[in-house]
Structure 1
Amino acid sequence: MIFLDAHLHFYSAYDRDSFFDAFADQAARLAPDASTCAAFVMLREAQKTLGRMLAITTRLGQRWQRAPDPAPGTCLMYDGQREILLIAARQIAARERVELLGLFTEAEIPDGLSLAETNRRLREAGALPALAWGLGKWLFPRSRAVRAMIDAAEPGSLLVCDSALRPAFWGQPRLMRRARKKGLRLLYGSDPLPRAGEEAVAGRYASLIEADLGEGDPATSLRQLLLDRSVAITPVGRRHGLPGTLARIG
């Protein structure tokens, strides 16, 4: 079993030990039998690579250290007892003001391109694209761009990523249901914001994958599992209530 936060950020405002402690504690509570605790860490336009992002946050005396990388585009963090597998991904804001995630890539793709062009460049870079849910971004005029992308997608070409920012009382959005009917897989992630204190959100809402990573490159193994529709992926944890959501987007 794999505990996977599919939408994680690590910002300079965070205390690194507190961030990884929070993630490991959430994983132990929500998935005590998980053989692997992992996360897609979103790189933004100014961030080059996952390894570089971690290197510039390294300080003397930190408990969480970086182990030898298991494979390109991955990092392994450990505190002497617990391990967290980090996998590089990109978050890109398209011209339509919809966010697209590029899983399994560090390729630099600028914000502001059309959704179609962003998707094309991600696929050319070997990424697995995922539409990120966002409050307002899946509603009103912007919902048309989301719907068009879902309608054009084939199973295995696009994933959808739910977020802890979607209020807990809010049932599954219509477009998310539409994606599921088309055979697109859903992932779940915590999506913390760039301010101090949000470290505690890491791992709050995540994906539970009913399989284990194979030998060799963990990113390759995970990608195969995400695309295998016989492997169950379910949400675990809790999304924020309405006050918590509004406080985070205000």
Structure 2
Amino acid sequence: MVTSKNLTQPIWADAHVHIYDCYDLEQFLNAALKNFNTTAQNSGYSQAETALLFLTETSKDHYFQKLIQSIQSDGNSNLMLKDWSFLGTQENCSVYAKHSTGQGIFIFAGRQVVTVEDLEVLALLTAEEFSDRLPIETTIQQVVSKGSIPLIPWGFGKWMGERGTIISRLLEQKESLPLFLGDNGGRPTFWSQPVYFKQAKERGLKILPGTDPLPFASESWRPGSFGFAIQGTIDFNKPAQSIKEILLDPNTQLQCYGTLETPLRFIRNQIAMQLVKRMRKKG
């Protein structure tokens, strides 16, 4: 079990993360810690004392459950990693990955839900499951009813035309449901910031950036490299509840960090993803 301590300090977070089976878990965690530390050092800190990864798994992916199942009754992990161990918390949606140096990263469960409009809704900070192919308003309401935070992430070509109109309508609704938009480290440098980000900010809604790494082994270095920083207090036994309260606080200020994708890498990744989709259809 994680030792309880409450600290008001900078918190570094990546709000859109996947752990794919093609990743080496040790390399993935090493890269994330390195990225968080680099960002913290660029901001004048010696290291990232509190770092967070928000998993956003599809209905076919359950890597977070592997982490939970690896934790034994004494609160420690039986995963045989060289420099990392996993500790349980008092929540079913959070674990603490601890490095041999003493540093660590909180990893939160979450889902990536596809709506009938072919938009995505991320359900953050939850171990609950959600059904795909429902209307986006219904999906958001279900996510909120389960105590989760709904986030609509930017995706290549997904916020255009009729679907863009849907995003705009959601942002203008007077209902007081919490809603976030998500920027994506895979957005290319030549792609201007979506107009809906400005609309969201005018409505007092927050933009949570994340890396959204792709299912290629070469992408395992990206987590933690694109995200946001906030100030707050984390209860190390109930970190998901703590970060939820911080994010829902209208007075919380976010500082985004990281660089967007280069045009060449963006084009290469898009071609690779199309090949992956075709292989999946054939399978």
**Equivalent residue in structure 2 for 1:221, among 234, 239, 242:** 242
**Equivalent residue in structure 2 for 1:44, among 58, 61, 65:** 58
For the aligned residue pairs, the C-alpha RMSD in angstroms reads 2.0
**Residues of 1 paired with 2:232 and 2:175: CA distance?**
23
Q: Which residue in 1 is equivalent to 2:202?
A: 181
For each residue in 1:124-150, what CA deviation from the matched residue of structure 2 results, as whole angstroms up to 9, or x when unmatched? 211110111111011122212211221
Structure 1: 5+ residue runs without aligned partners?
A: none
Q: Which residue in 1 is equivalent to 2:143?
A: 122
1:53 shift after superposition: 5.3
**Residues of 1 paired with 2:61 and 2:143: CA distance?**
16
How many residues align? The count is 249
For each residue in 1:42-94, what CA deviation from the matched residue of structure 2 results, as whole angstroms up to 9, or x when unmatched? 121023572335658x8534432212235221011112122010111111111
**Residues of 2 paired with 1:21 and 1:8: CA distance?**
15
Q: Which amino acid aligns with 2:97?
A: M
Q: Does residue 146 in structure 1 map to residue 167 in structure 2?
A: yes
* Matched position secondary structure for 1:210: strand
1:107 shift after superposition: 1.3
* Matched position secondary structure for 2:220: helix
Greater alpha carbon shift after TM alignment, 42-51 vs 103-112: 42-51
1:110 shift after superposition: 1.9
TM-score scaled by structure 2?
0.82
Structure 2: 5+ residue runs without aligned partners?
A: 1-9, 71-77, 272-283
Q: Which residue in 1 is equivalent to 2:254?
A: 233
TM-score scaled by structure 1?
0.92
Q: Which amino acid aligns with 1:5?
A: D
**Residues of 2 paired with 1:215 and 1:15: CA distance?**
26
Q: Which amino acid aligns with 1:227?
A: L
Matches within 5 A, 1:68-217: 68-81=88-101, 82-152=103-173, 157-214=178-235, 216-217=237-238
Q: Is the 8 A contact 1:209 1:231 kept in 2?
A: yes
Q: Which has the larger radius of gyration?
A: 2
Q: Does residue 5 in structure 1 map to residue 19 in structure 2?
A: no
Matches within 5 A, 1:18-33: 18-32=27-41, 33=45
**Residues of 2 paired with 1:197 and 1:117: CA distance?**
36
Runs of 4+ more than 6 Å apart: none
**Residues of 2 paired with 1:138 and 1:104: CA distance?**
24
Identity among equivalent positions (%) equals 26
Q: Which residue in 1 is equivalent to 2:75?
A: none
